[in-house]
């Protein structure tokens, strides 16, 4: 019974679908309690489930923000802050949860115009944007974002991976490129590389 209540590090990696570095970041930040047993970590499954429930509740609370409210919630945590821009709610949600799991502060915008309003109000460490969106497309968002913050690292997300879109992204100096569908560990790897971690 005791073995059922606790997970090994490998089991946690599979359960959360993240990499080892992310788990260590979560332990260090006090997000998930872990007990050292010899040279290995053990994790209470109920503690992890409780933490996941809190994350989900916090995410759904943020997503209930009324339409037309452009102000991202103020955060003074000292953590890396990421802005995710995509017209697909499911992609915004997936990226937001993946990045929050890795201890980043995340704001999301459903379109380029709202993203630019956020960037005028808040300093971000990383911009992740879809290339193809109605209104302002990703390349326009990147161009305007660079006027606001010249050195901002950018990751491009696209469902239309073509040589032309890769060349477009390279021409504006992006730090990473994700093709839909993507897996959470890949998102975290590309984000960490873009942020120089």
From the candidate CATH numbers 3.90.950, 1.10.101, 1.10.1660, 2.50.20, the one assigned to the domain spanning 2-56: 1.10.1660
pLDDT the model gives residue 2: 44
Nearest residue to 107 via CA among 63, 54, 56, 150: 63
pLDDT the model gives residue 58: 58
pLDDT the model gives residue 66: 39
Nearest residue to 44 via CA among 20, 15, 18, 21: 15
Domain boundaries, the chain: 2-56, 73-194
Which distant-in-sequence residues (6+ apart) come within 8 Å of 45 by Cβ? 4, 5, 6, 7, 15
Rounded Cα distance, 9 and 157, in Å: 30
pLDDT the model gives residue 160: 66
Nearest residue to 142 via CA among 92, 87, 83, 91: 83
Q: What string of pLDDT tens digits covers the 197 residues of the chain?
A: 344 577 888 887 777 777 777 777 777 766 777 777 777 778 777 777 777 777 666 555 544 443 443 444 444 456 889 999 999 999 998 899 889 888 899 999 999 999 999 998 888 999 999 988 888 888 889 989 988 888 899 999 877 665 566 666 666 678 888 888 888 888 889 999 998 87
Rounded Cα distance, 157 and 85, in Å: 9
pLDDT the model gives residue 34: 77
pTM of the model: 0.62
Rounded Cα distance, 96 and 104, in Å: 9
- Asked if the 73-194 domain carries CATH number 3.90.1150.110, the reply is no
pLDDT the model gives residue 163: 58
């Amino acid at each position: 019974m005791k073995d059922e209540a606790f997970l090994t590090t490998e089991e946690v990696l599979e359960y959360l679908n993240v990499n080892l570095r992310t788990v260590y970041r979560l332990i260090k930040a006090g997000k998930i309690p872990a007990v050292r047993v010899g040279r290995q970590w053990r994790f209470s499954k109920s503690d992890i489930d409780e933490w996941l429930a809190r994350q989900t509740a916090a995410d759904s609370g943020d997503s209930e923000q009324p339409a037309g409210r452009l102000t991202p919630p103020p955060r003074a945590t000292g953590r890396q802050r990421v802005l995710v821009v995509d017209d697909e709610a499911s992609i915004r949600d997936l990226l937001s949860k993946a990045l929050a799991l890795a201890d980043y502060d995340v704001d999301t915008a459903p379109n380029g115009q709202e993203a630019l309003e956020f960037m005028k109000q808040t300093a971000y460490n990383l911009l992740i944007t879809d290339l193809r969106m109605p209104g302002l497309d990703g390349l326009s968002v990147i161009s305007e974002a660079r006027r606001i913050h010249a050195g901002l690292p950018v990751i491009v997300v696209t469902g239309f991976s073509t040589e032309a879109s890769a060349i477009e992204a390279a021409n504006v100096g992006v730090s990473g490129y994700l093709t839909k569908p993507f897996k959470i560990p890949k998102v975290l790897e590309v984000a960490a590389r873009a942020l120089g971690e």
